């Protein structure tokens, strides 16, 4: 029977760096936070991101949380 174990959890903070004048698409810059606890509460993660926003160069576009697990037999 396969087992699953947490491997890593990250949060990518996506920032709105303006609009590409040629394509009209939003320019997205990113910064990442690693070593996020697997069971970290989503509201607390957003509180941390919110605390970082004032020191970043661009406004927040959205936040992506990625959790990776390893499957083993």
pLDDT given at position 70: 97
pLDDT given at position 20: 98
Query: pLDDT tens digit string along 1-42?
Result: 999 999 999 999 999 999 999 999 999 999 999 999 989 999
Query: pLDDT tens digit string along 37-54?
Result: 989 999 999 999 999 999
Predicted TM-score (pTM) of this structure: 0.84
Residues in contact with 11: Cβ distance below 8 Å, sequence separation at least 6, in sequence order: 32, 33, 36, 45, 49, 63, 64, 65, 66
Nearest to 10 by CA among 49, 56, 55: 49
State the number of CA atoms in the 13 A half-sphere of 61 facing the CB.
17
Residues in contact with 36: Cβ distance below 8 Å, sequence separation at least 6, in sequence order: 9, 10, 11, 45, 65
């Amino acid at each position: 029977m396969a087992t699953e174990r947490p491997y890593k959890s990250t949060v990518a903070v996506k920032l709105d760096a303006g609009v590409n004048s040629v394509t009209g698409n939003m320019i997205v810059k990113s910064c990442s936070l690693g070593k996020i606890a697997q069971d970290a509460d989503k509201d607390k993660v957003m509180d941390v991101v919110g605390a970082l926003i004032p020191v970043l160069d661009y406004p927040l576009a959205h936040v992506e949380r990625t959790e990776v697990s390893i499957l083993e037999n």
